[in-house]
Structure 1
């Protein structure tokens, strides 16, 4: 979920690109008579920071994205990324910043990130990367990247689509890469009854949907085929992709034909009014409490005031961890019901898709709970904070299925190692399963008989202390190079990730449950079985279906 932060701090190669070719004329694309000038680097051409909707500022704040048209004769410099959308303030847990002054931690995470990736409210832009020299007649498949970040942080500018496009050409299966910014945190995922009544919930998802409509209208100008679009994301981006499969009763509106989802599936969430306490806090902190129309007051609140108020809300690495303040919820418009129920009712787009997880999804988020050290505290945390409202019996059963035995915790298969606290590996196992592995299993249960599906498990980086095969590590297997990148490119071209020769990734069925397992070592991919922790994961799905937060 905090892929953007993790990658920013650990690797600097995702935006690496070759130097510009000397002597080549600057590439241009014309849309609505406006001319957009990009840049060519090596074997790819980039058009960056193109607005795909009207700026969501002023009276357009907390409203659905408004389509954009370009003025005939306008010249647009598309050689640099646009600003990121407003970010949630990150508050690091004690397990990370122990001994580090608070102001130093704030500078390293918030101030430094903001300097490298400046944010703004006017942020709805797309980036298009094509093979150099692409023409409108080429009709190339399109991969659409939706970044992760817990619906709170992230930026399309973190990722170099040229790495995908260059590799696609090396495979002789060229693709066009598109990424977009979308509204985040309290700007994009505000909850409450006022939001539901106004029909403006899930604005971040609505932004993504508008970007997909922009692609349908304009991608042919870049050499893309609007009928061959694959949506692709990681973490919050993968969850977003899965929710696009549920929108409109599963009707894709012709916006995409396949999905590639890393560490994300339709999450169990309750009605958008469950976010009322966070809405009320914003109203109070922006001095809108006495307004006749509090939502309209939030639209007119000073940007800095509203952003600061949102920053006061719980974040990804706060104590409540993956019980998020800002996330997609059923709003009666984009999502008509709990995603689990929509999946069970068959209201899912019947398209081919790839989905999978990292083995140790929960370790990163359990750093926020290191003060939970006893069995009693584990049960209290589950019932009062992480899954508020569940019964004593449900709490007891979860504690049984996720025992305190550190050899059964996450990082899995590491024995007595990585036990940061007596409850750390236990919490990591639970949090990873409930938010990542269990939703994926639920989706597979109801869709594998109606569409072609491939499933993976990434066990790479298992020796990484404390974290193991940590959430977000699978991104390295795409952007930094690896088999997953080739699988993505082939899937975008053929709706099948397999090559003509070499490892053959079997389709997933409920009878076989075969999965591709990415591993370190001489044999990078082997076929495994998706049967781990079956009883525990099935029970978690029952609990969350009955108690959506």
Structure 2
């Protein structure tokens, strides 16, 4: 079935920041702080509110609720500030800064305060070091359009959270002052703001679905075990794409302390009695209008440059166990009776060839098993005995990503055409990291969820190769196939992405259809708790995981074949079971 989702140029003007707004009454939304005015985009039949602050973010401190209010209206039309990070955050021409805790809201046109629409909350990925709600890859307007088309209208909120050291600095100094995991706390603060204010936009605070990809999905995995699984009813459903509570694990506290020490040393704060306060300290000045302003002693530009120039080995940031918001490891939380997990319905899924992504560190030039063994001991923190157990499970003559291609391919020669060095063991490493980082955690989450929580779980496998041979390199992703992040443009149903390194959906009917099916599933799940309630008759039924341990498989090809189907989730059983039996120390 061919779906017409390509819209005219006025659409792109609207979603890319230059709205073609006609003379219609501007939409408003009342929050506890005051009333916001957004903009109406008739071409989309949508109202859009942008850059709404949901908290204040003092440097290296827990976000604080907004305490100001106003009469009249404030505009919510321009983009808000993007949180500082690495990679794309510094390449997209976005305004970057520390006061970045803001959100965007997209809703169907004409929604009233008492409409009580379901709410989807997008949490971006980016390795906890990059990402922004202003990245054009994360345009939620198509999802809202799909929701209206299938008769399940939703409101979508996209939230910023602090990144890299600003959001995930950890050390004994940071922990002693309760300032750990600020990025996760920012997400929690945004959910509190939504709970308190979304009714003013026409949303239902008791029908909230958190939805994220990669680090966004891992964030949701942490949110489901945050505060011992007590989520304060801030969300009732969760969609985790390429991430779960397992796989990446919590940050290494020894390495985190070394990062903190390097940062304070490079800024001179290591000489202060309180090094963390030194990084935070502000002084008061009078400006030209005799107003008192507070300025950081270590300027943002200096601190940001210092962070981005940290040695590669010290520039990895992720959530850490802190005894507060993240009190327990997921393995511990799942093992308790009752389990320390938020009782919410979930969708969890990942891509067939996740391990091929350069973001997961598997693009290696290895040619021997000894090199792979060293890679595993260093990267997974296991000893030689355990590393060799893994190698035995993934023999040299096995089938590895890209799973759609034979192992007889000269992979080193193919990647060399892109200037990327591979070895004869590279695809083997892809396969190990594929299961360790993504596939095992996805299966364990799906299998455990209903028995532990009594709530529904649905599992999927994304099996679309938007690029094949000749290989196509995408910065931040890798060399193609169903690698980590390959589903992003499909998830957002994007036929065109300006200013983003991610490729759009190929102009093939089957590719557009598989994208539409994914959106229909996600919207129906957010609206009803059942991804099948979309009324699109060409999409096969998706069974709950507890009804037969099955995945929904999204498959479409560049030669225009659509193959949506259901599969038994038992592939690579021995390998995946090995990982899932060992998360207590692997995670």
Decide: shared fold, TM above 0.5.
Answer: yes
1:474 correspondence with 2:487 = yes
Question: Which residue does the alignment assign to 2:229?
Answer: 250
CA distance in 1 between counterparts of 2:116 and 2:371 reads: 57
* CA distance in 1 between partners of 2:368 and 2:13 (Å): 41
Q: 1:75-474, aligned counterparts within 5 Å?
A: 75-88=73-86, 90=87, 112-113=91-92, 115=93, 117-158=94-135, 159-267=138-246, 269-270=249-250, 273-274=253-254, 275-300=256-281, 301-313=298-310, 325-345=316-336, 346-365=339-358, 369-384=363-378, 386-388=379-381, 390-405=382-397, 408-416=399-407, 417=409, 418-419=411-412, 420-449=422-451, 450-461=454-465, 463-464=467-468, 465=471, 466-474=479-487
Q: d(CA) in 2 for partners of 1:296 and 1:282?
A: 13
Q: CA deviation at 1:387?
A: 1.7
Moved over 6 A (4+): none
Tell me whether 408-417 or 361-370 shows the greater mean CA deviation: 361-370
How many residues of Structure 1 are paired with residues of Structure 2 in the alignment? 502
1:449-507 per-residue CA deviation (whole Å, 9 max, x = no partner) reads 22211100001016533432011122222211421100011011100100355511011
Q: Could you give the per-residue CA deviations for residues 233-285 of structure 1, whole angstroms, max 9, x where no partner exists?
A: 11111111121111122122010110111111013535763421211221222
Equivalent-residue separation in structure 2 for 1:15 and 1:374 (angstroms): 49
State which drifts further: 463-472 or 325-334.
463-472
Q: Distance in 2 between matches of 1:262 and 1:470?
A: 12
Q: Which moved more, 1:263-272 or 1:488-497?
A: 263-272
Which stretches in structure 1 are left out of the alignment for 5+ residues?
1-11, 91-108
Match of 1:490 among 506, 519, 524: 524
The alpha-carbon deviation at position 327 of structure 1 amounts to 0.6
Structure 2 match to 1:100: none
Alpha carbons 2:161, 2:187 under 8 Å: kept: yes
CA deviation profile, 1:155-184 (whole Å, cap 9, x unmatched): 111222221111111111100000110000
Q: Are the equivalent residues in 1 in contact too, given 2:446–2:458 (CA < 8 A)?
A: no
Q: For the structure 1 residues 262 and 14, does the alpha-carbon distance in structure 2 shift closer, same or farther, using more than 3 Å as the test?
A: farther
Contact 1:145/1:177 (8 A) holds in 2: yes
For the residue of structure 1 that corresponds to 2:235, the secondary structure is coil
Cα distance in 2 for residues equivalent to 1:340 and 1:13:
47
Q: Is the 8 A contact 1:52 1:211 kept in 2?
A: yes
Show the counterpart of 2:416. none
Q: Specify whether residues 447 and 188 from structure 1 end up closer, same or farther in structure 2 by C-alpha distance, changes over 3 A only.
A: same
Flag the 1:50–1:61 CA change in 2: closer, same or farther, 3 A: same
Match of 1:22 in 2: 22
Distance 2:578 2:352 in 1: 19
TM-score, normalised on structure 1?
Answer: 0.86
Deviations 1:2-47 (A, max 9, x none): xxxxxxxxxx999459964522022222324633111111311000
When the two chains are superposed, the root-mean-square deviation of aligned CA atoms in Å is 2.4
Please state how far the C-alpha of 1:535 moved relative to its aligned partner: 1.6
SS of 2:354's partner is coil
Equivalents in 2 of 1:70, 1:270: separation in Å? 36
User: Could you say which residue in structure 2 is the equivalent of 1:102?
Assistant: none
